[in-house]
């Protein structure tokens, strides 16, 4: 029975060097292959043109490159690009390119489906199939960078982990992907241009702080009242706001990095004075900014965009308390380019 070949991008540079030494070749050959895999984004061993045919054949015998494929691409009138990304096992995730006048942002997925149960989110209706590997996350970024250069004439400038899945439920792979994205051996992107958005898992937020990460953190808050938040995001009943607050205070003490709160105002759910006052109070615990996000309804159910008056009431109250607030309009409406539910966000 033939053993399944290992994805070569799951092999470290040191192990690649060792592989070549034990195969009777020079260690530097591992460096060459590693560069092809990450810096040059090779899709196959045949792409590695400065390596002999015999060596490429030997690699083919021992490894595979489980590269993603952009199965379908839709372009919006506003320049947004939505990708249906097919993985090596046939599963599909989404990624989105979001342009503005000054930059382009990649919204990437970290899981196939999602294990959480946010009632407003289309992805939550899909059961979690598996975590994405670091290389599969990295590939989404590479693909969007190419689209940014092709359609907007400049390289990708920002990345947000706001696609399918909860990034902190795929902690190790997400951090490994970011390590490669920010490495000079990868894309060399500044971690300050990367934002990881979480639904709020306190112990994992603390772990991020302990691991001294340099990227930005966003929290999908949507309510600063426990009962209301549990209605919106049922799993959050296990993570009370008091625990979330403590983890965010810990994050700020360790990193000195502001939090971004993602917040959708829904009609009849959190569009009242009590909800506004609760958010203003919560924002005072840790230096932060608030992104009020225009909602893309996924059906005709209870979650519908609140009135402009309700959104303006939030803006007025937050600004009066000295809290930075921005309104993020939905992008790519004509192609339904919701990445998770927060595709309109920029880092």
Positions at the binding site for S-adenosyl-L-methionine? 165-166, 197, 220-222, 296
φ, ψ of residue 305 to 5 degrees: the values are -55, 135
**Displacement of CA 98 from its chain's centroid (Å):** 13
Spot the catalytic one: 107, 283, 288, 339: 339
CB 170 within 8 A of CB 164: no
DSSP β-bridge partners for residue 325: 290
Spot the catalytic one: 35, 94, 147, 319: 94
**Displacement of CA 227 from its chain's centroid (Å):** 27
288 carries an active-site annotation? no
Q: What distance in Å separates the CA atoms of residue 77 and residue 84, rounded to the nearest whole number?
A: 18
203 CB-near residues (< 8 Å, 6+ apart): 247
Residue 334 CB-half CA count within 13 A: 8
**Displacement of CA 237 from its chain's centroid (Å):** 24
Pairing mode, strands 6-7 and 259-263: unpaired
Angle of helix 202-210 relative to helix 241-255, nearest 10 degrees, comes to 10
φ, ψ of residue 217 to 5 degrees: the values are -120, 135
339 carries an active-site annotation? yes
Question: Which residues are tagged catalytic?
Answer: 94, 339
């Amino acid at each position: 029975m033939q053993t399944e070949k290992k994805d070569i991008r799951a092999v470290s540079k040191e192990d690649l060097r060792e592989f070549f030494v034990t195969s009777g070749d020079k260690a530097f050959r591992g460096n060459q292959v590693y560069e092809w895999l990450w810096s040059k984004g090779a899709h196959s061993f045949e792409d590695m043109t400065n390596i002999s045919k015999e060596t490429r054949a030997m690699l083919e015998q021992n490894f595979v490159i489980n590269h993603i494929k952009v199965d379908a691409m839709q372009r919006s009138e506003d320049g947004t690009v939505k990708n249906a990304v097919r993985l090596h096992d046939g599963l599909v995730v989404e990624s989105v390119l979001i342009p503005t006048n000054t930059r382009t942002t990649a919204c990437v997925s970290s899981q196939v489906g999602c294990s959480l149960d946010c009632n407003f989110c289309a992805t939550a209706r899909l059961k979690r199939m598996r975590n994405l590997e670091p290389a599969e996350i990295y590939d989404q970024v590479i693909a969007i960078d190419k689209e940014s250069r092709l359609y907007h004439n400049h390289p990708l400038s920002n990345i947000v982990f706001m696609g399918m899945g909860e990034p902190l439920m795929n902690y190790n792979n997400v951090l490994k992907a970011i390590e490669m994205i920010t490495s000079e051996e990868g894309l060399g992107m500044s971690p300050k241009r990367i934002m990881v958005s979480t639904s709020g898992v306190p112990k994992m937020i603390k772990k991020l702080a302990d691991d001294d990460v340099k990227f930005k953190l966003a929290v999908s808050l949507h309510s600063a009242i426990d009962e209301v938040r549990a209605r919106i995001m049922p799993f959050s009943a296990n993570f009370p706001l008091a625990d979330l607050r403590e983890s965010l205070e810990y994050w700020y003490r360790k990193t000195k990095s502001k939090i971004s709160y993602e917040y959708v105002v829904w009609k009849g759910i959190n569009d009242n004075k009590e909800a506004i006052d609760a958010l203003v109070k919560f924002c005072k615990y840790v230096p932060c900014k608030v992104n009020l996000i225009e909602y893309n309804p996924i059906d005709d159910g209870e979650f519908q965009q609140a009135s402009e008056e309700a959104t303006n009431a939030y803006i007025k109250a937050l600004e009066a308390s000295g809290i930075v607030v921005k309104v993020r309009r939905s992008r790519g409406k004509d192609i339904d380019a919701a990445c998770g539910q927060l595709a309109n966000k920029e880092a």
